[in-house]
A and B are shown apart, each in its own frame.
Chain A
Amino acid sequence: MILLDLILILVTGGIASWIAARRSAMVARWITLASLLVNLILGIGIWIAHLGRSQSNPARWFVQCNFNWIPQFGIRIHLAIDGLSLALLLLTYFLGIMAVLSSWREIRERVGFFHFNLLWVLAGITGVFLAMDVFLFYLFWELMLVPMYFLIGIWGHERRIYAATKFFLFTQLSGLLMLIAIIALAILHHQSTGIFTFDYEQLLKTALSPRAARLLMIGFLAAFLVKLPAFPFHTWLPDAHTEAPTAGSVILAGLLLKTGAYGLIRFVLPLFPGPSRELAPILMSIGVAGILYGAVLAVGQTDLKRLVAYTSVSHMGFVLLGVFAGNEIALEGAVVQMISHGISTGALFILAGLLQERMHTREIAAMGGLWETMPALSGAGMVFAMASLGLPGLGDFVGEFLVLLGAYRANVPLTVVASLGLLAATLYGLRVAQNAFQGSNPHHWKLPDMLPREWMVLGLMMVGLLWIGLYPQPILNTVRPSLAAAQQSAFTQEIVRR
């Protein structure tokens, strides 16, 4: 039941803060913060409990909860948590708290509805990471969408409507393709076994003809690749990230993109092992294309948030490359990259938010010489820019290094090209560092430096990046069994199930 509680706490917390905001915006903020803190503590509790008994009990799922919902169609409320889900959930609540704290002052209108949406997005994300019933998974997948749409559309910047709509249409349309694939999968399962079910573990055993498997996989891929986003389906991302309010950008970049990667690992690899292997070279190439394309375009941006948005395209390209490289090292690297990118990019968006709050612009050209007036904030910016360009010792390096190391075994030329992405990363990383913070101060900015609250947010994120950069082992150990299970069918077993 604890898993259901994770979702219910966020759902009720959202309603509560909406109601509470009629009296006091501050109370709404605190309710939101408290719900997320409770969830974070619950998550850590599950982790500790698991660490304590992992030796004695090798079961893959730490906790499950499973009961009937719509028996006619075999739809159940089946939630389960394993290492992969857990790691991503902890990231979700951590970034959620950061998002709330960073919009503490930024959001002044409709505070209640804002926090309602925020918590409901996070509830949807939680559901996505936990659902073991594919239909339920789809519902949560859609649940993420609507509140996110409102977050961008109501509290966003100048072109928010355009961006929100584009985001909605892209994800909605691709989601529908996945829905079709889900239903078809269930039907095929029904035809071969006579049981109508959407249960993940049951569906894993579905016998599929190669053609059907390929078609269905494309349905799933559509949703996940758009969400990831993979080149050339990334076009919604720069707009959505740029126009969203800070909290929205943090959740988008830090978490929503991860649901795409999660879907690839949880569903595409184990459900369609054969086609995954077949399409791997193409998907890896798409990943590499995204790495370079995103990085190169990031260099050319003039809007700070847009620049960071394009770096996400580049970083998520590493994830795609790692997922389909077909070995454990690359896949583990992809997960480390997911978590680390969540923190480093989230931090860069928060930083951009802090700058916009103070300067009312996101144009890099309007900045410059900020070090003089805001040394602490500029120093923090330097750290996150370095993380983003893959400096060893910070999280992103571990992820990218492992992905490349694994990919090297699968495809040498692609790895060489992908490594060039790190070079391009230098260009955009330094562009942020130099054009925003260094140089003279031509616009004579005189701005307040970081407040204690902002210090805490960015400081915690720095600690997180250092932790992943220097001691990634706890994460690797936690996710390893799940990844092995996901990959086993796809890449090590040569038997194609019929």
Chain B
Amino acid sequence: MEFSYLWWIPLLPFAGFLINGLVGRKFPRTVVAAIALLFTAVPFGLVLKLASTMFASGGPEQISLAGAPWISVSGFTVNFAFNVDHLTLLMLLIVTGVGFLIHLYATGYMAHEEGYWRFFAYLNLFMFFMLVLVLAANFLLLFVGWEGVGLASYLLIGFYFKKDSAANAGKKAFIVNRIGDFGFLLAMFLIIAQFHTLNFTEVFAQIAAHPEWQGGMMTAIALLLVLGATGKSAQIPLYVWLPDAMEGPTPVSALIHAATMVTAGIYMVARSHVLFAHSPTALSVVAVIGALTAIFAASIGLVQNDIKRVLAYSTVSQLGYMFLACGVAAYTGAIFHLMTHAFFKALLFLAAGSVIHAIGGEQDMRAMGGLRKKIPVTFWTMTVGVIAIAGAPPLAGFFSKDEILYQTFASGHVVLWAIGLVTAGMTSFYMFRLWFKTFFGEFQEPAHDTHHGDDHSHAHGVHESPAIMTIPLAILAVLSIVGGWVGIPKAFGGSMEIEHFLSPVFGEPAAVAATASHPSEFGLAAVSVLVAAIGFIFAYVFYYKKPGTLGALAEKNRGLYNVLANKFYIDEIYNGLIVVPTLMFTRLFLAGFIDKGVVDGTGATLGLTAKGGGYLARKIQSGNIRSYAGWLALGAAVLLIAMTFGLKAFGATH
């Protein structure tokens, strides 16, 4: 098999997990790091090799790799099978490429942590499941990766498991994700009932062949998949786990909770675009969820003080953009933004990590300030990231976000477009707020208080991070600048290569694009740049020019501020409406009343357990064999009686 090396792409990280997980404890740190890096670098190399084959003119557009059957029962078979098309290839490049950079960064970032081996074992395990997820050729194998990344995420969020907050955050993430997975599982049952297979190619071929299948079953399947996607990709109503997930080490936030795992939901929806095309209802739901999540999370992000939490809400918000794009069937835009977001958000998280690293574990932005000169590399790379996400041309975020806004507008969803536009302004504001608060203003000597955040209690003065951390930052900064140039729209004189590249998957650009004129696209882009600029100006005024004015403003609008600062009280609402009543029901009613009282009570009375127990107890305690013999005799007697009685009773009835 020409492409059988594809199997090694996920298997190598798994091997790394096994080695580090089983015997890594006994290795020195350098060996652990070397193993983890090697088993991620080689898959990246293999993906590059694959890319060179597929990019070559006349190269295959799709590669199928069927392995052994996994489960084969009557009328239904699932294989271990991989499928690589251009969408998968792009995801593979992101996962292995960004993944490798983050592994590299982590070797420096985690250098002083306990459980170094455990961290890298988990990280490699994550890579394994994520690669299975994107390579899978059927829903069930995708589900393996899907649940597996959830497990890895749980383990890594709870990496500092001695901290209760971290362990709880991990648990919350796992449970909320499993709620989504419940939808995914039911969707699979529906798909099997309808199509008798879970293979992507066969399912989508059947759907494509029946244009008359609209709504109904298609909507049901699509909406259940959406439930799964809202869990994994942190959308309303299941986004609540992602901000808490920031309890994990920062490289984990960058890799799992920004660049890769959380985009799995978008990947899955894009992968199933044929299905969604048959359900306008489901598409609208996706679009509305996306737009609402985008603005909702951004508004919470406006007032957060923890640097990682700002980025977390920003991630939720940006994922909302991708959802919105999927919802208006602009899949290319969604995947494009997924890619650029992977670059600049990974960069932002890693840079934030570098800041945290530099000042000894502090994550509260109120304790930061004036770090510009102290950690110049971090400052400059983070600046690139901030400008990229704020949407300033010609950086990556501008092109991808603009593509989404333009497609939303062009498809006639003016309200959703307006929401997206406002969100863009907010994004620019809270990112520059973060930038000003961290790097400008007065320098504050870091307090040696590490009660929250990563356990970086080795502060000996503010210092720039070592090269092994700054090199990944620099590479990601470059990607955050140029990453968007593969999608320069025609209105700007570009050629939108990514659209062409993904066209074998999503089909040629829709008719909407043809009808819309270049000037309108240009005008919309100008509007969004303007909005971003306004966001910047507000941040500039409030956090650089006249710090303090905003405090007064917040004082005046205490109510609104509190609602935002407390994240709309969603956690409290969920807790009060769902968690507490469920626990009460379980503990008091089921465990206390039904099981102890009714079921057990009846059973005990029925069996006269207490009485018989005392008698038997003495017999057995004595260890007397005669009592055993007596039991046998008794048993035999019962048997005889039963036989005679039974003979009569049933002989008579017939």
Residues of A within 8 A of B (CB): 110, 142, 146, 150, 153-154, 161-162, 164-166, 168-170, 173, 176, 179-180, 183-184, 187-188, 191, 209, 212, 215, 232-236, 293, 296-297, 299-301, 328-329, 332-333, 369, 371-372, 375, 379, 382, 386, 391-393, 398, 401-402, 404-405, 408-409, 415-416, 419-420, 422-423, 426-427, 430, 434, 437-441, 470-473, 476
B151: CB under 8 A from chain A?
yes
B192 interface hit (Cβ, 8 Å)? yes
Please name 19 further chain A to chain B contacts, defined as beta carbons within 8 Å, in addition to the given A183-B642, A184-B646, A300-B591, sorted by A numbering. Answer: A164-B620, A166-B607, A173-B607, A180-B646, A187-B646, A209-B654, A212-B654, A328-B73, A386-B151, A391-B151, A401-B140, A405-B76, A408-B193, A426-B178, A434-B167, A437-B161, A471-B68, A473-B69, A473-B72
Write the B218-254 contact mask toward A (1 if CB under 8 angstroms, else 0): 0000000000000000000000000000000000000
> Within the assembled complex, what's the spacing in Å between the Cα atoms of A332 and B645?
39
Q: Are A427 and B639 in contact (CB-based, < 8 A)?
A: no
User: Given A179-B642, A405-B76, A438-B158, are A392 and B68 neighbors across the interface (CB < 8 Å)?
Assistant: no
Min Cβ gap B396→A in Å is 35
Q: Decide if B507 is an interface residue (CB 8 Å cutoff).
A: no
Residues of A within 8 A of B68 (CB): 471
Contact B586 A297 (CB under 8 A): yes
CB distance from B194 to the nearest CB of A (A): 11
* CB of B512 within 8 Å of the partner chain: no
Among B616, B643, B650, B653, the residue within 8 A (CB) of A165 is B616
Q: Is there contact, CB below 8 Å, between B650 and A170?
A: no
Using A329-B76, A405-B76 as known contacts, say yes or no to A180 and B642 having CB atoms under 8 A apart. yes
Contacting residue for A169 out of B148, B192, B607, CB 8 A: B607
Chain A residue, CB-CB nearest to B150: A391
**A239 and chain B: residue at smallest CB distance:** B600
Q: Is there contact, CB below 8 Å, between A191 and B654?
A: yes
User: B603 an interface residue at 8 Å Cβ cutoff?
Assistant: yes
Asked whether, in the complex, the Cβ of A439 is within 8 Å of the Cβ of B167, the reply is yes
Residue numbers in A under 8 Å from B217 (CB-CB)? none
- CB atoms of B654 and A422 under 8 A apart: no
Which residues from chain B contact A427 at a C-beta distance below 8 Å? Answer: 175
CB-defined contacts of A146 to chain B, threshold 8 Å:
628, 631-632
| Residue B171, interface by CB 8 Å | yes
Bound complex: CA of A329 vs CA of B643, how far in Å?
A: 39
| Shortest CB distance A240–B (Å) | 12
Chain A residues positioned under 8 Å from B649 (CB to CB): 180, 184
Residues of B within 8 A of A212 (CB): 653-654
Taking CB atoms, residues of chain B closer than 8 Å to A391 are: 147-148, 151
Chain B positions near chain A (C-beta within 8 angstroms):
21, 25, 68-76, 118, 140, 143-144, 147-148, 151, 154-155, 158, 161-164, 167, 170-171, 174-175, 178-179, 181-182, 185-186, 189, 192-193, 586-587, 590-591, 595, 599-600, 603-604, 607-610, 612-613, 616-617, 620-621, 623, 628, 631-632, 635, 638-639, 642-643, 645-647, 649-651, 653-654
| B71/A402 in contact, CB under 8 A | yes
How many angstroms between the C-alpha atoms of A423 and B170 in the bound complex? 16
Tell whether, in the assembled complex, residue B76 and residue A154 are in contact, meaning their CB atoms are under 8 Å apart. no
Q: Pick the contact of A439 from B162, B189, B590 — CB < 8 Å?
A: B162
Contacts of B600 in A (CB 8 A): 235
The residue of chain A having its C-beta at the shortest distance from the C-beta of B121 within the complex is A379
Asked if residues B148 and A179 are in contact (CB atoms below 8 Å), the reply is no
A415 close to B586 (CB less than 8 A):
no
- Residue pairs across A and B with Cβ atoms less than 8 A apart, 20 shown, are A153-B616, A166-B603, A166-B613, A169-B609, A179-B646, A180-B642, A180-B649, A184-B646, A191-B651, A332-B73, A375-B118, A401-B140, A405-B76, A415-B189, A416-B186, A422-B181, A427-B175, A430-B174, A434-B171, A437-B161
Within the complex, the shortest CB–CB distance from A466 to chain B, in Å, comes to 12
Query: Does B25 contact A235, Cβ atoms closer than 8 Å?
Result: no
Cβ A183 vs Cβ B646 within 8 A = yes
Complex Cα distance, B560 from A44, in Å, reads: 71
Shortest Cβ distance from A409 into B: residue = B193
Instruction: Tell me if B189 and A150 are in contact (CB < 8 A).
Output: no
Contact residues in B for A422 (Cβ distance below 8 Å): 178, 181-182, 185
A-side contacts of B620, CB under 8 Å: 150, 153-154, 161, 164
Whether the Cβ atoms of A300 and B147 lie closer than 8 Å is: no
The closest CB in chain B to the CB of A139 belongs to B639
Chain B residues with CB under 8 A of A434: 158, 167, 170-171
**Residue contact B71 to A423, C-beta cutoff 8 Å:** no
Residues of A within 8 A of B595 (CB): 235, 297
Would you list the 4 A-B pairs with minimal beta carbon distance, nearest first?
A184-B650, A438-B161, A169-B607, A161-B617
A393 CA to B620 CA in the complex, in Å?
45
Are B603 and A235 closer than 8 Å at their CB atoms? Answer: yes
**Could you tell me the distance between the alpha carbons of A169 and B603 in the complex, rounded to whole angstroms?**
10
B599 near A232 (CB under 8 angstroms)? yes
Name which residue of chain A comes closest to B117, CB basis: A375
**What's the Cα separation between A296 and B118 when bound, in Å?**
32
| Residue of chain A at shortest CB distance from B118 | A375
B25 touches A375 (CB 8 A): yes
**Whose C-beta in chain B lies nearest to the C-beta of A233?**
B603
B76, B161, B632: the one contacting A371 at CB < 8 Å is B161
Cα A299 to Cα B162 in complex, Å, equals 22
Q: Is A235 within 8 A of B182, CB to CB?
A: no
A212 to B608, CA, bound (A): 31
Q: Which residues on B sit within 8 Å (CB–CB) of A401?
A: 71, 140, 185
Residue from the list B148, B607, B628 in contact with A170, Cβ < 8 A: B607
> In the docked arrangement, what's the CA distance between A352 and B169, Å?
26
Given A183-B646, A434-B171: A392 and B162 interface contact (C-beta under 8 Å): no
Q: With A165-B616, A392-B143, A423-B182 as given contacts, are A300 and B586 in contact (CB-CB < 8 Å)?
A: yes
Give A29 Cβ to nearest chain B Cβ, in Å.
21
A393 proximity list for chain B (CB < 8 A): 144, 148
CA distance A382 to B170 in the complex (A): 14
Nearest residue (CB) in A for B616 is: A165
